Amino acid sequence: MIAAEQQRMAASRILENCMADDLSAEVAVARLAVLTAEINAAKLADVALEMRTKAYHCRGWLEDVAALLSANTGAFDSLRATAASICHDRQDSETAEMTVRRLASGFDQAVVISPAASVQLSSLGDEEKLSATTAEIASWLERQGFTGEDKTILDIGCGIGRFECALSARAKRIVGIDISYGMIAATRRRCAGLGNVEFRQTSGLDLGEVADERFDGVLAVDIFPYLVIAGVAERHFSEIARLLRPGGMAAILNYSYRMSPAADSADIRNFANACSMDIVIDGATPFRRWDGTVFLIRRTGGT
Ligand SMILES: C[S@@+](CC[C@H](N)C(=O)[O-])C[C@H]1O[C@@H](n2cnc3c(N)ncnc32)[C@H](O)[C@@H]1O
């Protein structure tokens, strides 16, 4: 089979899976950007439209996918370039330090191409779409009692600072840490003028930069997958347990990109048991605008 036909078949499989999981058209476009390489946006739009005859019940959704792909082909190319900046594989010979350094330089590049897509690919690089998803996640955090005027929050892998902006009025103080110099610079610009947020560059190997502080909440949105890749997830988990005040919560949104919910839940359960933490939410997918998987873990003690 020729390569172009293989790519078209791969694209239809991606779309079928997204339809089966009831995912948004934006998530489907993001997956197409990552998982297909040699087929352009116009041809991908054709694939989506051709699928309407077989998947008649999803024709509106397939037309939305096609419309997103056709609306701005330059934006789709930039989405692909953003995704391609960050390699999710780890070479056998790579140490944790080397992996973290490689990821930091990938995110330095990604944030220059598209700040919004560099932190959430399914924003498709659109700041308004990103803000809508961020607002949905921020409201969810509020409903869990994660935020509050008396709460101090550590945001690991803060990226461009979208959660600091969204949560600063709902927290006493927020400390954002990230390995990427470019991300920290973007975050400082975005959050200029917010008096209760601060940012630090971290080694990415542990939480040494905040070792002497205690927090009511630790936020980790789409960051654990990179800790898993670098082999430092367990170390981070036990440090999070130590940095949390009794009763404090860690919100881990996406644990890995292994596509195995059972393996992710098992890892979180093992870490939580080892650190005497309770799992409050185990692998739920509560968001309408984003396909992130949620784990909410509470340090025992407190009220
Ligand atoms: C997909 S982005 C998510 C950013 C942010 N949490 C958000 O949702 O907007 C992942 C971020 O994690 C950072 N990162 C990757 N590995 C890290 C590590 N070991 N320690 C701290 N930050 C890390 C990257 O530089 C990047 O800013």
For the stretch 96-128, pLDDT in tens is: 999 999 999 999 999 999 999 999 999 999 999
For the stretch 194-214, pLDDT in tens is: 999 999 999 999 999 998 899
Q: What CATH class has 127-299?
A: alpha beta
pLDDT at 286: 94
Give CA–CA dist 244/295, Å, rounded. 16
Asked whether the predicted pLDDT for residue 7 surpasses 90, the reply is no
Domain boundaries, the chain: 2-71, 127-299
| Residue 283: band (very low, low, confident or very high) from pLDDT cuts 50, 70, 90 | very high
Ligand 1: residues with CB < 6 A are 100, 103-104, 107, 119, 156-159, 162, 177-180, 183, 202, 204, 221-223, 226-227, 230
Residue nearest to atom 13 of ligand 1 (CA): 157
Residue found by looking up tokens 């709902």 in the block: 170
- Sheet with 148-156: strands ordered across: 197-201, 171-178, 148-156, 215-221, 244-253, 294-299, 277-284
SS3 11: helix
Asked whether the predicted pLDDT for residue 1 surpasses 70, the reply is no
Q: How far is the CA of 58 from the centre of ligand 1 (A)?
A: 34
Q: How far is the CA of 2 from the centre of ligand 1 (A)?
A: 38
Phi-psi map region of 300: left, alpha, beta (phi>0 left; psi -120 to 50 alpha):
beta
CB 259 within 8 A of CB 222: no
State mean pLDDT over 51-71. Answer: 94
For the stretch 240-274, pLDDT in tens is: 999 999 999 999 999 999 989 999 999 999 999 99
User: What pTM did the predictor assign?
Assistant: 0.94
CB 205 within 8 A of CB 182: no
Q: How far is the CA of 158 from the centre of ligand 1 (A)?
A: 6
Single-letter amino acid code for the residue at 100? V
State mean pLDDT over 155-168. Answer: 98
* Between residues 293 and 90, the one the model is more confident about: 293
pLDDT at 72: 82
| Residue 48: band (very low, low, confident or very high) from pLDDT cuts 50, 70, 90 | very high
Asked whether the predicted pLDDT for residue 38 surpasses 90, the reply is no
Average pLDDT over all residues of the chain: 94
Q: Which of 121, 178, 200, 219 to mutate to test the pocket of ligand 1 (most atoms within 8 A of CB)?
A: 178
CB 36 within 8 A of CB 69: no
Give CA–CA dist 165/170, Å, rounded. 10
pLDDT at 13: 95
Q: How big is the chain, counted in residues?
A: 303
Residue nearest to atom 27 of ligand 1 (CA): 159
| Residue 226: band (very low, low, confident or very high) from pLDDT cuts 50, 70, 90 | very high
Give CA–CA dist 115/134, Å, rounded. 14
Give CA–CA dist 217/219, Å, rounded. 6
Q: Is 40 exposed, middle or buried (0-12, 13-18, 19+ CB in 10 A)?
A: middle
Distances (CA, A) of 130 to 35, 185, 191, 225, 288: 21, 19, 16, 20, 13
Identify the helix (H) or strand (E) that includes residue 136.
Answer: helix 127-143
